[in-house]
Structure 1
Amino acid sequence: MSNLGLQVRQAAGSIDTVVADYAVGYMQHVLKSTEDAVLAQQLDIIKEVSFIEDLLISAGGDETKVKQLSSKLRENMEKQLKDNMAKLEITGDTSKRLLDIGLLNSKQREMDSSLALLQSTDIEHTGRSIESRVDKKKLQKAEAKIAKKVAKRNNQFVKYEASKLLNDAQKDDYDSFFLKVNPIEFGAGAGKSKDIKIDTFDLYVGEGQRILSDASLTLSYGKRYGLVGQNGIGKSTLLRALSRRELDIPKHITILHVEQELRGDDTIALQSVLDADVWRKQLLIEETQIEERITTIEKLKEEFDEESLEMKKLENEQSDLNDKLEEVHEKLSEIESDKAEARASSILFGLGFSQEAQKRQTKSFSGGWRMRLSLARALFCKPDLLLLDEPTNMLDVPSSAYLGDYLQTYPATILVVSHDRAFLNEVATDIIHQHSERLDYYRGANFDSFYNTREERLKIQKKEYENQMAVRAHLQAFIDKFRYNAAKSSEAQSRIKKLEKLPVLEAPEEEKTVTFKFNDPEPLSPPILQLLDVSFGYDSKNLLLNHVDLDIQLDSRIALVGANGCGKTTLLKVLMGNNIPLDGSVSKNTRLRIGYFAQHHVDGMDLNKNAVEWMNDKFHGKTDEEYRRHLGSFGITGSLALQKMQLLSGGQKSRVAFAGLCLSNPHILILDEPSNHLDTSGLDALATALKNFKGGVLMVSHDVTMINEVCKEIWVSEDGTVYRFDGSIEDYKKYILKKADASGVVKKH
């Protein structure tokens, strides 16, 4: 029967949509059962049709029309069952045959309608659990509207208890989640627009905290959007909602989100990237299974006569499998499967994985390197919508330069959350500013042009607001003075009407000003801190540092750059005395105090304590009020200072760490990726504080803007040594990309 949904609506137009969808899904399920050799023998058609008939009538359907529908349905099912059983006698039991990918995914779409229809056991009849086919998105949208109405009526947000159909999400492995979000439908998007337009939606996080209100999201295919805003505003939450299709994205648009590090296992790095393309992986598995079954059939055919029924069954199956194998080969060719390994290796190399590292098991890599693997997997898959959350945080300058260069020619849509200005200037074609529960668009803008345009907008808004306030004050003063004066009453009434007609302007939002300040140290006589012909390695035959000379003074502003694994962290440990050189010496002033900011500073924090308690433990001698005042100057104000630190965002934890670093009164600051997690105001405050600091600074950073603003010297860690680079950080980036080209790294897609 064609168009069951329409026929159900004609027979029972007044029933609830959820019940109608369930009835249609159930009928489709029963119809499909007639095609299965095992299920068909167990099928009680009369009982199944009677159940649907009773359901529709009890839900409010027209009894006469429902019975007519039931009669047609029963007749159709009996005929289909008879035809299928007749076919079964000739072709044999196909239930044992290998299922092709198209059929598997057709089954998946019918059972869950590509993720929108959620299976559950909400409905029961005659003691059996029946699959519920409720449209999850429609139900979610309806319940969101109800929640909004309740909130509006009570003038506050009320936590709405949604159906259990929406609350039974399970944690899936990567392959399952990938196929749920991106079901295999080759050619499904042919001719369809891949632009994304989501009108008027609200987005909540946690216990009713709204982060977007009546917002609209527009993403044009092929554009690269930078999503910016203050820490804690909800940017990552928006990305997660998009990645799970909690917002209405067309199903033919594929999505991939780089959010967390890859789980380590025995899989080698290169294979883990290849496996990220689940479509390709499933096709290769299908190819192997079909070829194995064909080989088995060839052996079985040797045991039967040419004219036997068994031989005919085997030949029929082999013919079907050959057709499916040809289809699989066509699909593999369509996605250029033969070029996949070279492309995956190129991406890994660009992100810092040597040929040897690509052959290592993923469990052997640290968290930062697993994040790079996650990024490599996403780039390899080439989704229509690529979602990146602070992708440069775990990258060094060479890898960050490679990523920026790679994304400039990315053929689809990118939405990236980042506070790295240089990266956004290089990559973004448009900026989306998330603030005040809204999204503002800056078309054709990189970060710098967005920042300048926004400043101009704020100035204009502030001027308009101040002018109107002055007009209002002038009118109100006249009204107050002459309202009860008979001679001036008509003029007062005229001004009252004029005042009422003035548009209501909101005061332009003022971003919180954050000021970092490091205390000026007392003077020291040189040498302050020197490495003299230092060599170091955990194995004397494999030196990480070889004959290094480095001198840090109180006025030094040094950026230490280089690929991860080249010895930068080792050098910092030698400077601080944690590693003893195998050769050479480290010269320090005896009164020197070093302040160290670790890239993984969170590991050294007790997150069960609040910021005030942690400061008191680390730096004794002040009152709680003094600690709170000090934290406030670093942007940890009010209740934030008294919350458990595990509830703070990454940027807020970094601010606490900097506040603590300040109290150590260092002469030299050694900073390992200090810009990670900080938002724009935090980065500005840090850059200003470092420029004003009267001590020395040695910084390991990938943030080109921070290096440009703060540092006067570029030192490169490379090939077992450290040397002063003659040029700017921009010159170093060009040097890296040129070197990558010479090494054979393919940048294009």
Structure 2
Amino acid sequence: MDDSEKRVPKRDVVLDIPEGEGEILCNVEFKLAYGGKILLNTTHFHVRRGRIYGLLGHNGCGKSTLMRAISSGQLAGFPGAEELMKLRACFVDHDIDGSDANTPTIDFCLQEPILAPLGREKIHDKLLEMEFTEELIEKPICNLSGGWKMKLALARAVLLNADLLLLDEPTNHLDVQKQAWLCDFLTGPECEHVTTLVVSHDSKFLNKVLTDVIHYENMRLKRYTGNLDQFVEQCPMAKAYFSIHDTEMKFTFPVPGPLEGVKSKTKAIIQAKNISFTYPGAKKATLVDVSCQLSQASRVACIGPNGAGKSTLIKALVGETKPDAGSPEIYRHQNCRVAYVAQHAFHHIEQHLEMSPVEYIQWRFSGGLDKEQQAMEARQIKHLVGRRTRHGDYEYEVKWANKDGTSMDDNKNLYVPKVVLESNGFFKLMKAIDDKIAAEAGNVKPLTTNCIQKHLDDFGLHEEFGTYGKMKNLSGGQKVKCVIGASMWFCPHLVILDEPTNYLDRDSLGALSRAIKDFEGGVLMISHNAEFFGDIAPEIWEIPGDQKVHISGAEWMEAVRARELAEPR
């Protein structure tokens, strides 16, 4: 028997916590099962007030399931009816229910029946204490960043006088400053008499805050005293939980295919020169005089605090928003296919909870692109149906509509120069036909169940979940795999990932890291996780909030160009 086997008891043994380390908050015995699978078999849960416990175990062992069962009161044997009256457990989550999206922050707190008697003034004062501004207090919660949503959830917990805080991946969506704030909050006077149970893959965060570790071992829970480093000394096998690169999981990105006129992977296919961007109604610009470019060789990490302009820049580069009037146009190769996975992209699939991932991809790509209808002089454009090159520039085939909205005959179609359509504001229609033509060149695969499932296999979403599972039953990580897989359906030349580490576990992050290294297209990622992007993104775009983009490491592209020139033709 090796040392690791000796450490795992044959039956659960709850180690006594020495007196003086806080009163016993909870000491119960229970079982836990999910979907017919036993996760914990007659185990003890023994915690004391004022301690911070890290709940650790391999992926799929049931850590988040346990916390949700505790918070919902649905855990058999925990707590008993008598204890439930004494123990106030609060699940802290930054994914606030979509039905509350348009509710102002303070009204969201007042909706809690236990908080309503406190009154608006006391809740308002507590939010100010938690560094909310008057504007944020009255702002709809859908407009709060992930960091502010976390602070809001913690403010509610404090107002509830919670005895037990349950935190599931609390550092997701938090920039470095807010992560530091969270550490100070959990170890400070506000939580002095609160017990905290946390699930996290963030090893630095756990090392700073944990007083104890509760570890899943042979379907039972075992407690270890100390922070993460001290736990790993006693249980070395647990080090793999926190290693991004120690994984057998594999993602495979599709081959992008050639681009017309692009002979080198270092040639810019998206380029911004001296652009500025100001949000409507804002007193000052978010970005001023910014220049940057992306090629199929790009490996870029975009870093900076929340709200500094990272997502703003990305949306401008992919054409979701337009720079300020007077800024030069952003160049995008007309046939460039971009996979853009936004920070909260998986929320889009919440509208399709009864679909399987395969059905979602069939729905998403079988209906074609959305069309716009706008007026142009005396006639109305129905939509754009084609594109051709003429005199070195593009012309678009326009299908016109009659005044009653019906389509004119195809023989009335005209080719209109790009510059004319641009001057009349038809950017979205032009982008739609560009995307359609690019997609048609993107090695389009048949939308059959077998073909889609084979594609999803490349992203770790296997048949059990991809074909036969419903969205509503997928974990957050599985939903992200579905969204990433769907975004890759048209074989993109560029992949843009906004905070990919937020909902992917360590195994998936390791697989994503390797896929990025092997990918034949370009990658731009927004991330706060230097451990993830450190060895895959030599080029850094730092956006600190001073309206500028500070670029470093771009010289690595010269080495790529030199290798290309040295390769035999």
TM-score bracket relative to the smaller structure: 0.5 to 0.7
Could you say which residue in structure 1 is the equivalent of 2:423? none
CA contact 2:110–2:119 (8 Å) conserved in 1: no
Pair 1:680 & 2:509 matched: no
Alpha-carbon contact 1:243-1:257 (below 8 Å) kept: yes
Give, in whole Å, the separation in 2 of the partners of 1:267 and 1:662: 35
* Structure 2 CA distance for partners of 1:266 and 1:611, relative to 1, 3 Å: closer
Deviation at residue 534 of structure 1 after TM alignment: 0.6
Q: After TM superposition, give the deviation of residue 267 of structure 1 in Å.
A: 8.2
Structure with the larger RCO, 1 or 2 (CA within 8 Å, 6+ apart): 2
Query: 1:621–1:449: structure 2 CA closer, same or farther, 3 Å change rule?
Result: farther
Alignment RMSD (CA, Å): 4.0
Secondary structure at the counterpart of residue 566 of structure 1: coil
Does the 8 Å CA contact 1:518/1:689 hold for their aligned counterparts?
A: yes
Equivalent residue in structure 1 for 2:268, among 527, 534, 542: 527
Distance 2:537 2:139 in 1: 38
Q: How does 1:357-372 map to 2 (within 5 A)?
A: 357-362=135-140, 365=143, 368=146, 370=149, 372=151
- In the alignment, residue 167 of structure 2 is paired with which amino acid? L
1:661 & 1:436 partners in 2: Cα distance?
A: 38
1:414/1:267 CA distance change after superposition, 3 Å: same
Rounded Cα–Cα distance in structure 2 between residues aligned with 1:432 and 1:405: 22
SS in structure 2 of the partner of residue 614 of structure 1 = helix
Distance in 1 between the 2:539 and 2:160 partners?
39
Q: Does 1:562 align with 2:391?
A: no
Superimposed CA distance per residue, residues 692-749 of structure 1 (whole angstroms, 9 cap, x where no aligned partner): 334332212233432335433443334462322779xxxxxxxxxxxxxxxxxxxxxx
Which of the pair is proportionally richer in helix? 1
Superposed displacement of residue 542, structure 1: 4.2
Cα shift at 1:417 = 2.0
Secondary structure at 1:357 match in 2: helix
1:237 aligns with 2:237: no
1:550 aligns with 2:378: no
Measure, in 2, the Cα distance between the counterparts of 1:284 and 1:596.
43
Does structure 1 conserve the Cα–Cα contact (< 8 Å) formed by 2:30 and 2:41? yes
> What is the DSSP-based 3-state SS (H/G/I as helix, E as strand, rest coil) of the residue aligned with 2:524?
strand
Alignment of 1:358-437 (within 5 A): 358-362=136-140, 365=143, 368=146, 370=149, 372-379=151-158, 383-409=162-188, 410-411=191-192, 412-434=194-216, 437=219
User: Are residues 1:514 and 2:249 paired?
Assistant: yes
Quick check: 2:28–2:44 contact (8 Å CA) kept in 1? yes
Q: Is residue 215 from structure 1 mapped to residue 43 from structure 2 by the alignment?
A: yes
Does residue 261 in structure 1 map to residue 96 in structure 2?
Answer: yes
Cα distance in 2 for partners of 1:678, 1:404 equals 22
CA contact (8 A) 1:675 1:701 kept: yes
Normalised to the residue count of structure 2, the TM-score between the two structures is 0.63
* Deviation by residue 1:643-684 (Cα, 9 ceiling, x = unmatched): 222221111111122223344332322111212222221122
Instruction: Tell me the number of residue pairs that the alignment of Structure 1 and Structure 2 aligns.
Output: 426
Equivalent in the alignment of 2:461: 636
What is the identity percentage for the equivalent residue pairs of Structure 1 and Structure 2? 34
Q: 1:616 to 1:365 in 2, by over 3 A?
A: closer
Quote how far apart the aligned CAs of 1:397 are.
4.1
Question: Distance between the aligned counterparts of 1:718 and 1:574, measured in 2?
Answer: 18
Residue equivalent to 2:318:
576
Partner amino acid, structure 2, of 1:535? S
CA deviation map 1:183-233 (0-9, x unaligned): xxxxxxxx9953345354112345x54332112223243332222445554
Q: Which residue of 2 aligns with 1:651?
A: 477
Contact 1:544 1:567 (8 Å CA) reproduced: yes
User: Comparing both structures, which one devotes a greater share of its residues to strand?
Assistant: 2
Residues 300-343 of structure 1, C-alpha deviations (whole Å, 9 max, x = no match): xxxxxxxxxxxxxxxxxxxxxxxxxxxxxxxxxxxxx8xx9766
Corresponding residue for residue 699 of structure 1: 525
Aligned counterpart for 1:613 among listed residues 352, 359, 362: 359
CA distance in 1, matches of 2:293, 2:31: 55
Q: Structure 1 residues 356 and 219, CA, compared in 2 at 3 Å: closer, same or farther?
A: same
Q: Taking structure 1 as reference, are residues 278 and 615 closer, same or farther at Cα in structure 2, changes over 3 Å only?
A: closer
Distance 1:667 1:451 in 2: 44
Structure 2 counterpart of 1:202, from 1, 23, 31: 31
C-alpha distance in structure 1 between counterparts of 2:290 and 2:473, whole Å? 42
In the other structure, the counterpart of 1:667 is: 493
Does the C-alpha gap of structure 1 residues 525 and 448 become closer, same or farther in structure 2, counting only changes over 3 Å?
farther
Say whether the 8 Å CA contact 1:547–1:584 is kept in structure 2. no
Match of 2:339 in 1: 595
Q: C-alpha displacement at 1:631, in angstroms?
A: 2.3
Task: Tell me the CA shift for residue 454 of structure 1.
Answer: 4.3
Q: How does 1:151-190 map to 2 (within 5 A)?
A: none
Is the CA contact (8 Å cut-off) linking 2:54 and 2:213 kept in structure 1? yes
Q: Using the alignment, how far apart are the partners of 2:275 and 2:239 within structure 1?
A: 54
* Letter in structure 2 aligned against 1:636: L
Look up the equivalent residue of 2:272 and give its one-letter code: L
Contact 1:397-1:702 at 8 Å conserved across structures:
yes
Counterpart Cα distance in 2 of 1:631 and 1:451: 38
Aligned-partner residue type, residue 355 of structure 2: K
CA displacement at 1:371 relative to structure 2: 5.2
Structure 1 counterpart of 2:280, which letter?
Answer: D
Higher Rg of the two aligned structures: 1
Runs of 5+ unmatched residues, structure 1: 1-190, 289-336, 459-510, 728-749
Give the Å deviation of 1:455: 2.5
Distance change in 2, residues 1:408/1:697 (3 Å): farther
1:309-348 counterparts in 2 under 5 A?
344-347=127-130
Give the secondary-structure state (helix, strand or coil) at the position aligned to 1:584.
coil
- The letter for the 1-side match of 2:359 is E
* 1:274-293 → structure 2 map (5 Å cutoff): 282=117
Partner SS for 1:721: coil
Contact conserved, 2:266 with 2:298, CA < 8 A, in 1? Answer: no
Give, in whole Å, the separation in 2 of the partners of 1:257 and 1:226.
Answer: 15
Counterpart contact for 2:44–2:221, Cα < 8 Å: yes
Question: Counterpart of 1:587 in structure 2: which amino acid?
Answer: Y
Looking at structure 2, the residues matched to 456 and 216 of structure 1 have their Cα atoms a distance apart, in angstroms, of 21
- 1:610 is displaced (CA, Å) by 1.9
Q: Which residue of 1 aligns with 2:392?
A: none
